[in-house]
Structures are given as structure tokens and as C-alpha cells.
Amino acid sequence: MNFSLAQKSLPTHVLMAVLLCAFCLPPVQSHAAAPLSIGTNPQGTAAYAVGAAVANVSSEVAGMQMRVVPQGGPPVTIPMVNKGSLEFSVANGLVVAAAHAGTLMYKDRPHEKLRLLCNVFPLHLGYVVQKDSDIQSIADLKGKRVPSRYTKQKNLDVMAGGLLATVGLTWDDVEGIPVPNGARGVDDFAAGSADCAFFSLSSGKMLQANASVNGIRVLPIPETTQAKQAIQENIPGSMIIEIDPEETKYPGIMVKTRVLSQPFLITVSADVSEDTAYALVKALYNSKNKMVAMHKSFNAFNPESMYLDIGVPYHPGAVKFFQEVGLK
């Protein structure tokens, strides 16, 4: 505006009113919110599939754009959620409980801003070998080439070692093949450089391995007091369950087989708004069919089991929704 010309053509009191309004107007703001983010394991894993389904529901049902950020797994994504550089992540119960308390792979580093959004479904894990292998039990892994260390996915190091302990073995009893994460361990097994693999039985990686080695077989956890105690002591928050191949179609399960079970969870930063957390958990609660269409693992998703107390606080937005539907 040319103020000198306006001053000549407008009465003073009108000009002052125009100027006052101009200076009092708020700045123009964009209404396009920045996309949310959910951290997962690499592509081909159950965690990535869950993250992709959650992102889809967030965008299409809750109206909030979300992008999937594949990383090395919870040891990478959980600290990012705690710092607020990721809004959400996918992780199992062991790593979430350890991060919150500052134990195991997070020793003396409690993640105080880590919150739970919801439980998704149980995650089943186990050691697998080639279908025609002479390795018939976890005890038979002694002296064999076993993926180990899991430098970018320490929760798998804890769980894989815990399964060895069910038969009295330690990492010193096997030939460790260091890998960064579970997906690489499965790749090494499929390529023939490891005699077994340890990973989620429902993951895409296990399906790929099953095809590439002409069939896999899951090694059962023995039904012994030693095995039960080893799980309780080494893998807190876990349990042993028996899978019936007639009810659950996993590659490598031909007969009823005892495997490791962990809750699969969505975590959220405490910095995320209550409205955002509420909207997402509500959308997930109402979207089982949509998620099943994206990945068959969601057949095990039960909306009535989304609230699961593992000793880690839930986000206030999630608590609000769970109270509304009577889950808490």
C-alpha cells in the first residue's frame, strides 16, 4: 500500500483504522500438518508390515498422513521415539519394557518419554532349520553356525540367547555368525552361511526363506521346567505357547509346536498430542478388516485386547479411548 497516496485520498480517522487492522491481522499459516512417522524394522519383516498398515489406517481413516521409516529395529527406533524424532514405532514387549525401565539392552538408560499406544497381536518367534536338516531340536544347535549378536536389534540377541538357555546352551556352545538384525540372519540362513535362523515366524522373510531352501522346520521349545525358568529369567514379558498347524498357518509348523510368544506393540512419544494419539488408536480399533487385507498377521488382531498392561504407561490419548470403550 502507498501510504502517502492513501493519506491524501482518505480521512485521517479512516486511514488509522485501516492501518490498525493491517497490523493486528495474524500471520498467514499453512493448515497442512507435517506427516507423522512410524519407525519399523527393514522391509520384509512383520514390524514393517504392521507399520505400513498403521500408516495406511492413519491416512485413510484418521485423516492424518503418516510415513513408514524402516530402520534397524527397536534399538534404533525406540530411542528416536523417546527423543521425539519419531512419533510412533513398532516393538515387542521385551524391548519396550526394558527401554522404559532402563534394563537389559537399555541398562541405566530409562526412556522416560516412551509411552504405549496399543497392543496389536502376539508375535511368535523361533529357531528354524531346513526341512530335511538333521537338526531336530534346539539342543542340536550345539556347535552349529547360529546367527548372533544382532548389533542393531539387541532384543533378538536376548531372545535368541534365551531360547538356547531352554536346553542349557549359551552363545559359547555355538559358532556365532554376527549379524546386524534378524532379517540379515534369515538371509544368511537362506544363502547357506548359517545352519538356522531366529526370527518372527509370520514375517515375509520367513516366507522367503521357506521358498528358497525348499522348506523350513521350526525347532520346538522343550516342555520342561528348565525351559520355563529360562524364559522367565532371560526373556521377561514372554511366554511359551503351542501352535497348532490346523489353526495357525506358519511355514515350518507341521505338527503342534511350542514357540516363543511376545506381545507386538505400537509405542508413541509422550510429546505427541492427546488428540493425535486418541484419533489413531480409535481408527485402529475400527479397522481390523482393512489391516487384514494388507497383511494376514492381522487375523490375530483382537480390538478388545488392544489394552495390555505390561508395566509401561499408556499415552493419555490412548487411555481416554480405552476408557470410553470399556477396555480400561
CATH number of the domain within which 118 lies: 3.40.190.10
| Cβ proximity of 269 and 200 under 8 Å | no
Are 128 and 247 in a shared domain?
Answer: yes
Structure letter (DSSP) for residue 299:
G
pLDDT band at 30; cut points 50, 70, 90: very low
pLDDT for res 34? 86
The parent domain of residue 165 ranges over 124-262
> Is residue 5 situated within a structural domain?
no
Are 236 and 288 in a shared domain?
Answer: no
- What mean pLDDT, rounded, does the chain reach? 90
Number of domains in the chain: 2
> Is residue 42 situated within a structural domain?
yes
Phi and psi dihedrals of 39, rounded to 5? Answer: -85, 140
> Is residue 306 situated within a structural domain?
yes
| pTM for this prediction | 0.77
Are 143 and 201 in a shared domain?
Answer: yes
Reported residue count of the chain is 328
Are 278 and 255 in a shared domain?
Answer: no
> CA 171 to CA 142: how far, in whole Å?
9
> Is residue 99 situated within a structural domain?
yes
Give the range among 9-13, 48-52, 174-178 with minimum mean pLDDT: 9-13
Are 281 and 299 in a shared domain?
Answer: yes
pLDDT band at 27; cut points 50, 70, 90: very low
pLDDT band at 78; cut points 50, 70, 90: very high
Are 128 and 254 in a shared domain?
Answer: yes
Are 189 and 282 in a shared domain?
Answer: no
Are 134 and 226 in a shared domain?
Answer: yes
Instruction: Count other Cβ atoms within 10 Å, centred on residue 32.
Output: 7
State how beta strands 257-269 and 114-130 pair.
antiparallel
Provide mean pLDDT across the span 116-142. 97
pLDDT for res 26? 43
> Is residue 31 situated within a structural domain?
no
Are 102 and 134 in a shared domain?
Answer: no
> CA 240 to CA 257: how far, in whole Å?
10
Give the bridge partners for 150, in sequence order: none
> Is residue 292 situated within a structural domain?
yes
Give the bridge partners for 261, in sequence order: 124, 239
pLDDT greater than 60 at residue 4: no
**Comparing C-alpha atoms, which of 126, 115, 275 is closest to residue 199?**
126
> CA 274 to CA 153: how far, in whole Å?
30
Pick 15 or 230 by higher pLDDT: 230
Are 89 and 187 in a shared domain?
Answer: no
Are 160 and 255 in a shared domain?
Answer: yes
> Is residue 30 situated within a structural domain?
no
Are 240 and 297 in a shared domain?
Answer: no
> Is residue 18 situated within a structural domain?
no
| Cβ proximity of 126 and 260 under 8 Å | yes
If you write DSSP's letter for every residue of 16-71 in order, what string do you get? HHHHHHHHHSPPP----PPPEEEEES-TTSHHHHHHHHHHHHHHHTS---EEEEE-
